[in-house]
Each structure stands twice: as C-alpha cells, then as structure tokens.
Amino acid sequence: MRIYEDREVKYTKKALVEKKCDLCGMAASTEEDSWATSSYKIDETEVRIEVRQKDGTGYPEGGWGTEYVADICPDCFRNKLIPWIQSQGCTKERTEWDY
C-alpha cells in the first residue's frame, strides 16, 4: 500500500510518503522504501519481470487508463504469495545463492 500526501512545489502533486505491504500492512523503512533492517541484512522483494494489468486507451499523442501495482513485503512474499502460486501449480523451488 502506498500512502501519498499532497505537497506544494509551484503546483500540487502526489508525493510518496510511506510504503506498506498490501497484505499485512508492514511499513518499509524510510531508506529507499526497503524492508531491510540494516545495511548488512538482506531481506528484500525484487520483481525482475514486471507483471502488471493495465487497461485504457492509447493514441500516438497520449493515453490514459488504470493499472494494478502491488507492494509485498518479504515475509508476505515467502509465506503468502509463494504458497498460493504453488497451490496454482507452480513447481519452482527455493534455491541457494552466494557471492
């Protein structure tokens, strides 16, 4: 869940002031909207392939419409989204990584 507030900068615009998990409500830290708790701890959710649903009308000079954007904290990603994807038939398993 992204929470916006109006800020005046010669005009009024929406500014991101807080980001929360859309499933559990956990707030991201203020640094780069990350859920990691320290600079050495890695606990992130990264979308490498953009998955979105977008509809509307588009012309060469512009367009408009609506789209879905979801923010999911690492805990909900592991404990809610992955089990649901697996229940739908996904057979991918957790793999190890290092550097």
Do residues 76 and 21 lie in contact, with contact meaning Cβ atoms separated by under 8 Å?
Answer: yes
Q: Is the pTM of this model over 0.85?
A: no
Give 14-67 pLDDT, tens digit per residue. Answer: 888 888 888 888 887 765 556 655 566 666 666 555 567 889 998 989 899 998
Question: Left, alpha or beta for 89 (phi > 0: left; psi -120 to 50: alpha)?
Answer: left
